[in-house]
Amino acid sequence: MTDSSTNMRLKLPLICFILEIILIILFGVLVQYDHDTDARDFHNKSHHDYENDFYYRYPSFQDVHVMIFIGFGFLMTFLQRYGFSSVGFNFLIAAFALQWATLMQGFFHGMHGGKIHIGVESMINADFCTGSVLISFGAVLGKTSPVQLLVMALFEVTLFAVNEFILLSLLGTRDAGGSMTIHTFGAYFGLMVTRILYRPNLDKSKHKNCSVYHSDLFAMIGTIYLWMFWPSFNSAVTAHGDDQHRTALNTYYSLAACTLSTYAMSALTAHDGKLDMVHIQNAALAGGVAAGTAGEMMLTPFGSMIVGFLAGIISVLGYKYLSPVLEDKLKIQDTCGVHNLHGMPGVLGAVVGAVTASLATREVYGAPTLAAWFEACLHTVVGFVTRTSTVSFILKLPVFGAPPDTICFEDSIYWEMPGEEAHHDELSTVRTAEMEKLNS
Amino acid sequence: MTDSSTNMRLKLPLICFILEIILIILFGVLVQYDHDTDARDFHNKSHHDYENDFYYRYPSFQDVHVMIFIGFGFLMTFLQRYGFSSVGFNFLIAAFALQWATLMQGFFHGMHGGKIHIGVESMINADFCTGSVLISFGAVLGKTSPVQLLVMALFEVTLFAVNEFILLSLLGTRDAGGSMTIHTFGAYFGLMVTRILYRPNLDKSKHKNCSVYHSDLFAMIGTIYLWMFWPSFNSAVTAHGDDQHRTALNTYYSLAACTLSTYAMSALTAHDGKLDMVHIQNAALAGGVAAGTAGEMMLTPFGSMIVGFLAGIISVLGYKYLSPVLEDKLKIQDTCGVHNLHGMPGVLGAVVGAVTASLATREVYGAPTLAAWFEACLHTVVGFVTRTSTVSFILKLPVFGAPPDTICFEDSIYWEMPGEEAHHDELSTVRTAEMEKLNS
Amino acid sequence: MTDSSTNMRLKLPLICFILEIILIILFGVLVQYDHDTDARDFHNKSHHDYENDFYYRYPSFQDVHVMIFIGFGFLMTFLQRYGFSSVGFNFLIAAFALQWATLMQGFFHGMHGGKIHIGVESMINADFCTGSVLISFGAVLGKTSPVQLLVMALFEVTLFAVNEFILLSLLGTRDAGGSMTIHTFGAYFGLMVTRILYRPNLDKSKHKNCSVYHSDLFAMIGTIYLWMFWPSFNSAVTAHGDDQHRTALNTYYSLAACTLSTYAMSALTAHDGKLDMVHIQNAALAGGVAAGTAGEMMLTPFGSMIVGFLAGIISVLGYKYLSPVLEDKLKIQDTCGVHNLHGMPGVLGAVVGAVTASLATREVYGAPTLAAWFEACLHTVVGFVTRTSTVSFILKLPVFGAPPDTICFEDSIYWEMPGEEAHHDELSTVRTAEMEKLNS
């Protein structure tokens, strides 16, 4: 079932060992505990224990961590025979990306005397950057080898850190929940990669590119976890006190409103007035994405609900009408529809953030003018296209072991498969017995 | 498979859009950030960041949130072909109910100068009220359309807020974990609704009203999450400090004791000495319900364990002996057996709370006398029956699109269904081949 | 399908009721709220609410709680027809063990004036001790009755408390994440029990001792939760402030590095270059075990990654090459391979802890010399073998209702089983129709 190019016996160990050994060496040379993590440092300044950043952020960190590993991992198990790869490759590339992100983000944002200082906030940021890679993974889901995914993660994390540096440090925008830095970036990066890896004969694997009953239920585990913990995601790195509080609250109401508009639009657009699991699993989350930038501001619950309400509508319409066009006309095969969940709602979030910030006084947020925001967006797009295209072509190298068009969306090419279920054996026993009876 | 009345193409979008737009308008007019959530307000009073209520309650809130969306959602996936509806309708009505509850509870408890002030505590209370609606959903599971459920939620949240106001504000009872306000109310509301929606011909869908192997495992995800996070549920809105601490601890031991008595009673009463998944999935949680009122008091671990121990016994006996009687004699078709999990243990919790409070001095808890408690209960029951009956009759309107008796407990009436699993195709290929061989 | 000895109608209720009643009585006599949990005590000392230990530890406690009930419970659902027992018996013995552990650990560590004082820290420790029992459960999975498991838990918790007392109190070692006290102890206890319960004819149930597609996905839920929350596990009882912070961070990087080496080794050693789910589900967690002792020290992220990297390699090699030898030569039938996940990585963790502590000055950690550590280990081994063997022989008594060799790894012996899935009925209807056509 596998030809030699998709055989992972040497390729995967080689890249894993090389990457991990480089990571370990760089951590040894560059990385140090930050002030709140270092035994001597924290005690010397004689702080109270409860002022340690750990108590402000660790619960949020764990919620984000669940979103990255359970949320994204299980959301992608909707394919009927791609559950091992969805959860398993998600696990592998996330474990790599969070280490590499620590270094890249530290290099751009956190150098102190030649050393990268780390603690719970850098852990959250590393998880955020990882989230961006997993969004891109959604676009290429089912069509890539684990080696390709690791290479993609290597480049994407690097570009993520560059992009984040330009937006947050150079242009001074604010984006605590990452509408722009995480969602828009991750979505368009993934779309660019899947465009360049375009497979004209992908319909040979078409019968595998759909869900079955239990795979949709597993995917709902991912959906619900992402939905529940999105308030923690958006508030995880906002300022202590009322900022974290307000961001969580705004996101909570944005998501609730988004869920109602998602159900409404799903019934309205789907065949025969029935609800479509694809919409529920994805579009109901768009409210979290869209509240990513403005969530920390004085958006009010009222404003948050409007944003979420619109995000749900846009997202369902995207799944229904835009995705087929992207595939047919632009040759963008977006397996999970990340454009509808992260792309468009991310852009919506950026616009809402720009408007909200420009309505407030400069003192309140230290935010740039509306013009600066659009400059930021423009910059992102141009630089982004150039850089991503270069990266994506590397992924086409046959040495990375991509699956052939006929065996996409299929675990068995990279995983040892267990036997079928016992009751099938029983079934076949029954059938054989019947056959024998007939023959006699 | 669907006739026109169950077609949701217009009904569901209509009700979702109307409800959400009303919610948004009311939020715009009435709702404001509270002191700990507002940027200016919190900083003006120059508090320390760590005194923000967010850090006292947000981790508990997230645990409660998981109980509402994963706990209740997956607990109800035990039915073989109702997983989409269980998780999906749970998701929809919860997303609506938490917004509506914010307004209703705010109207009765949280008005400040004509505005409803919200923050993490109101979010927890909104989730609590939502929990009550989901308990009632359990009673009517499989027999209602999403439109009916939204209408039910609309009325139930309103009555919940009235009932809560009477119990907590007028009668001055204490019920942090909601034995009375959440569990008893939700259970008897649901039973009343299912009684009025009685279906004499429900046995036509009988073969769907049972579990299969994997659906029981999905349900266990719900059970275990409810069990684990119940200490957070009961302690989420108790006073800061030792109160939260003590409530969590009491609930932890109550649940542990309840689990042992549940397994014991299940083996003792079930057929052939084998354990029954229905008991494990439900009765093991009764200890959390029963510790809801007294959990915050000086109940002691010893007292908590006795309460949990009794709750498990009562609950299993209810499933085994009382539920069939309720169905046959009183025509109450209680799909999930909420009477056994929330009804009786809730009443037990109320009694334990009354006794514990009356044993303590009035100074310690500011609690009412035993007589006042029973007056509270009595009041609840009488007012409750009158109000609920009225509501329930509305739900019988055919316009709401309830499923016919022959297609209850079945996802396909409201959901687009995925294909069957691939190995079935293989199976049928094999079968066809065999047939051909036989024919030749 | 069951003979009288495996019938649980009387045995299980009897042992559950007796154990729970003894627990309740002992709690009544011996257990009290600690300073931070008691209403009068906490307020008398006029602390600030935010200094209550609840806020330092409760989020970590809940993460540990999820690892115990979801993590361990679902990790063991990989067997095709043992999901009810994996989750269900895990639930039962954990609920018992945490109560018994409260008493045993309190007796050895927490007596104040003849009373055991409890609060959130004792709850975490009780969960830790429970974890040890669940590790042993992994070794005997599929081959024991619930009654045997309760008896095993009764003895194991007792010996755990003794062992912990010797290591932590008498020898003065430090082991916050329990590399030695939890993982090494739990693994070797389990191996000893499974050795003494050796079944020469276990291959009669061989066809049930493997996974199916969806059971492997359920198991991944367990794996991912254990992986995500291990930083909370290792940091849950370390000192407030930088210690908790640092331990979580070290564990995070150890696990990430371990995941990469696990995937590498799995592809390198498994058949045909394909990844093996058994390795991913288990070995990727070894980094958490191995960082259990040294995680709280100034191990640095660099050191943590080296430890995790090695742990993943050792663990996969153990699954591939050592487990078959243990079964064939030493007659140790280790169902979940706990030796590879908890045994060897636990020993590695103990060695790393000893080395790290001896490199630091005595002042920093108050740690014993390297020699003392090895004395500790030696002591553990000798005392351990003697005590465990005695216990294990008791478990062989036929009265405990172990399953026969032919019905191991099978839920139906202790659980009422639901019917098969509906589509099977449809299938058989189709088949029958075809048969009839053929016959006519």
Q: State residue A366's pLDDT score.
A: 47
Chain C neighbours (≥3 Cβ pairs under 8 A) are A, B
CA gap C196, C194 in Å, rounded = 5
pLDDT tens, position by position, C327-341: 999 999 999 999 999
pLDDT digits (tens, 9 = 90+) for A99-111: 999 999 999 987 8
Q: Shortest Cα distance from C85 to chain B (angstroms)?
A: 10
- Say whether A87 and C217 touch across the interface (CB within 8 A): yes
pLDDT of residue A421: 54
Assigned CATH for C32-45+60-424: 1.10.3430.10
- Half-sphere exposure for C382 (CA within 13 Å, toward CB): 7
Q: With cut-offs at 50, 70 and 90, classify the pLDDT of residue B46.
A: low
Backbone angles phi, psi at B232, to 5 degrees: -70, -35
CB contact under 8 A, A27 and C302: yes
Q: Which residues pair with A115 in a beta bridge?
A: A112
Decide which of 3.40.190.10, 1.10.3430.10, 1.10.1200.10, 1.20.1250.20 is the CATH code for B65-399: 1.10.3430.10
Q: Which of B36, B95, B419 sits opposite A210 (nearest CB)?
A: B419
Find the closest chain C residue to B297 by CA distance: C39
Higher pLDDT, A163 or A375: A163
pLDDT at residue A423 above 80? Answer: no
Q: What dihedral do alpha carbons A92, A95, A98, A103 form, nearest 10°?
A: -100
Residues of chain C contacting residue B313, judged by C-beta atoms under 8 Å apart = none
Element (H or E) spanning C100, and its range?
helix C83-109
CB contact under 8 A, C66 and B301: no
Between CA A237 and CA A243, with CA A239 as vertex, the angle to 5 degrees is: 105
Residues of chain A contacting B118 with CB distance shorter than 8 Å? 249, 301
Q: Min CA distance, B227 vs chain A (Å)? A: 18
C-alpha span between B102 and B124 (Å, rounded)? 10
Per-residue model confidence (pLDDT) at position A362: 53
Q: Is B270 within 8 Å of B279 (Cβ atoms)? A: yes
Whether the pLDDT of residue A146 is over 70: the answer is yes
**Chain B residues with CB-CB distance to C77 below 8 A:** 217
Residue C159 C-alpha, separation from nearest chain A C-alpha, in angstroms: 33
Q: What is the pLDDT of residue C423?
A: 46
Between C365 and A71, name the one with better pLDDT. Answer: A71
Q: Of B354-358, C55-59, C90-94, C194-198, which gets the smallest average pLDDT?
A: B354-358
**Cβ distance of A424 and B421 shorter than 8 Å:** no
**Which residues of A are less than 8 Å from B81 in CB distance?**
213
Q: Which residues contact C368 (CB under 8 A, 6 or more apart)?
A: C171, C172, C173, C357, C376
Cα–Cα nearest to A373, from A346, A348, A354, A352: A354
- Determine, for residues A24 and C263 on separate chains, whether the beta-carbon distance falls below 8 Å: no
Kindly state the helix (H) or strand (E) to which residue C123 belongs, with its residue range: helix C120-140
Sign of CA dihedral B217, B223, B229, B233: positive
Question: In the predicted model, what is the mean pLDDT of residues B152-176?
Answer: 90
pLDDT surpasses 80 at C280 = yes
Amino acid at B95: A
Q: Which amino acid is at C18?
A: I
Residue C398: per-residue pLDDT = 86
Inter-chain residue contact A8 with C271, CB threshold 8 Å: no
The pLDDT of residue B148 is above 80: yes
Strand order in the sheet with A31-33: A31-33, A115-118, A111-112
pLDDT at A422 exceeding the cut of 90: no
Q: Cβ(A196)–Cβ(B403) under 8 Å? A: no
Q: Please name the residues in contact with B205: beta carbons below 8 A apart, sequence gap of 6 or more.
A: B142, B405, B406, B407, B408, B409, B410
pLDDT average, residue stretch B73-80: 96
Decide if pLDDT at C438 tops 80: no
Closest CA to A79 of C362, B418, B211: B418
Q: What is the pLDDT of residues A377-402, one digit of tens each?
A: 666 666 677 777 777 788 888 889 99
| A241–B434 CB contact, under 8 Å | no
> Do residues A407 and A413 touch, judged by C-beta distance below 8 A?
yes
| pLDDT number for residue C377 | 67
Of the candidates A8, A39, A77, the beta carbon closest to that of C298 is on A39
Residue pair C254/C307 in contact by the 8 Å Cβ criterion = yes
Section B307-311 average pLDDT? 98
Dihedrals φ, ψ of B117, to 5°?
-95, 130
Say what the pLDDT of residue A359 is.
81
Subunits with 3+ Cβ pairs within 8 Å of A are: B, C
> Does residue A279 contact residue A260 with C-beta atoms inside 8 Å?
no
Q: Going by C-beta distance under 8 Å and a sequence separation of 6 or more, which residues neighbour residue A363?
A: none
Average model confidence (pLDDT) across chain A: 89
What integer is the mean pLDDT of B217-227?
Answer: 97
**Dihedral angle computed from the Cα positions of residues B123, B126, B127 and B130, in that order, rounded to the nearest 10 degrees:** -160
Query: What's the average model confidence in pLDDT over A135-156?
Result: 96
pLDDT digits (tens, 9 = 90+) for B124-142: 999 999 999 999 999 999 9
Q: In what order do the strands lie in the sheet with B115-118?
A: B31-33, B115-118, B111-112
Give one DSSP letter per residue of C21-64, joined into a string: HHHHHHHHHHEEE-TTT-HHHHHHTT--GGGSHHHHHHHHHHHH
Contacts with B300 from chain C: Cβ below 8 Å = 28, 31-33
pLDDT at B425 over 90: no
Which contiguous run of DSSP H or E holds residue C139?
helix C120-140
**Which of C50, C265, C270 comes nearest A416 by C-beta?**
C270
Interchain CB contacts (distance < 8 Å): A and C:
222
In degrees and rounded to multiples of 5, residue A273 shows phi and psi of 70, 15
% of chain C at pLDDT higher than 70: 89
Out of C37, C66, C414, whose CB is closest to B274? C414
Residue B247 has pLDDT above 70, yes or no: yes
Q: What is the pLDDT of residue B387?
A: 76
Q: Is the pLDDT of residue C415 over 70?
A: yes
For testing the chain B interface, which of C37, C47, C103 should be mutated: the one with the most B CBs within 10 Å?
C37
- Of the candidates B302, B315, B288, B284, the one whose C-alpha atom is nearest the C-alpha of residue B356 is B302
CA A44 to chain centroid, in Å, comes to 40
Q: Is there a contact between A137 and A90 (Cβ–Cβ < 8 Å)?
A: yes
Q: Do A248 and B120 touch (CB under 8 A)?
A: yes
More confident: C385 or C36: C36
Confidence of residue A425 (pLDDT cuts 50, 70, 90): very low
Shortest alpha-carbon distance between residue A251 and chain B (Å): 12
Strand partners, C112: C115
C-chain CB neighbours of A13 within 8 Å are 264-265, 267-268
Average pLDDT over all residues of chain B: 89
Percentage, residues of chain A above pLDDT 90: 75
Q: Which chains touch B (3 or more CB pairs under 8 A)?
A: A, C
Taking an 8 Å cut-off on Cβ atoms, the answer to whether A260 and B19 are in contact is yes
Instruction: Supply C396's token pair.
Output: 């062989």
CATH no. for A8-42+59-413:
1.10.3430.10
Which residue does chain C place closest to B303, by CA atoms? Answer: C28
The pLDDT score that the predictor gives to residue C362 is 53
Whether the pLDDT of residue A257 is over 70: the answer is yes
Q: How confident is the model at residue C432 (pLDDT cuts 50, 70, 90)?
A: very low
Bridge pairing between strands C31-33 and B115-118: unpaired
Q: Residue C423's closest chain B neighbor by CA?
A: B420
The Cβ-side half-sphere exposure at C398, using a 13 Å CA radius, reads 4
β-bridge mates for residue B115, sequence order: B112
Binned at pLDDT 50, 70 and 90, residue B369 comes out as low
Range B365-369, long-range pairs (CB < 8 A, 24+ positions):
B365/B174, B365/B297, B366/B172, B366/B174, B367/B172, B367/B173, B367/B174, B368/B171, B368/B172, B368/B173
Give the best residue of A57, A213, A218, A276 to mutate against chain B (max B CB count within 10 A).
Answer: A213
> Is the Cβ pair B88, A280 closer than 8 Å?
yes
| CA-to-CA separations, C360 to A400, C176, C365, in angstroms, rounded | 45, 17, 7
- How far is A285 from A297, CA to CA, in rounded Å? 20
Chain A residues with CB-CB distance to B90 below 8 A: none
The answer to whether the CB atoms of C31 and B248 lie below 8 A apart is: no
Q: Which residues in B lie closer than 8 A to residue C19 (C-beta atoms)?
A: 260
For residues C361-382, average pLDDT:
61
Residues in B touching C45 (Cβ below 8 Å):
none
Tell me which residue has tokens 């095993």: C152
Alpha helices (H) in B119-241, listed in sequence order: 120-140, 146-164, 185-196, 213-235
Poorest-pLDDT segment among A347-351, B328-332, B359-363, C149-153:
B359-363
Please state which of the ranges A152-166, B261-275, C160-174 shows the lowest mean pLDDT.
C160-174
Q: Are B61 and B124 within 8 A, CB to CB? A: yes
Q: Evaluate if residue C228 carries a pLDDT over 90.
A: yes
Give how far Cα C192 sits from Cα of B364, B379, C142, C166, C347, Å: 52, 61, 16, 20, 16
Q: A245 vs B43: CB contact, 8 Å cut-off?
A: no
Give yes or no for residue B427 having a pLDDT over 50.
no
Average pLDDT over residues B147-173: 91
Contact C333, C199 (CB under 8 A): yes
Q: How far is A272 from chain B (nearest CA, A)?
A: 7
pLDDT in tens, A302-358: 999 999 999 999 999 999 999 999 999 999 999 999 999 999 999 999 999 988 888
Query: B115-118 and B111-112 as β-strands: parallel, antiparallel, unpaired?
Result: antiparallel
Does the pLDDT at position A212 exceed 90?
A: yes
**pLDDT higher than threshold 80 for residue A431:** no
C440 Cβ neighbours under 8 A, 6+ residues apart: none
All residues of chain B having their beta carbon less than 8 Å from the beta carbon of residue A55 are 50, 55
The size of the A-B interface in CB pairs under 8 A is 223
Of A80, A229, A309, nearest to B24 by CB-CB distance is A309
* C118, β-bridge pairs: C33
Q: Return the minimum-mean-pLDDT range out of A277-281, B54-58, B422-426, C185-189.
A: B422-426
- CA dist., res. B185 & res. B193, Å (int): 12
Q: How far is C127 from chain A (nearest CA, A)?
A: 19
For residue B3, what pLDDT band results from cuts at 50, 70 and 90? Answer: low
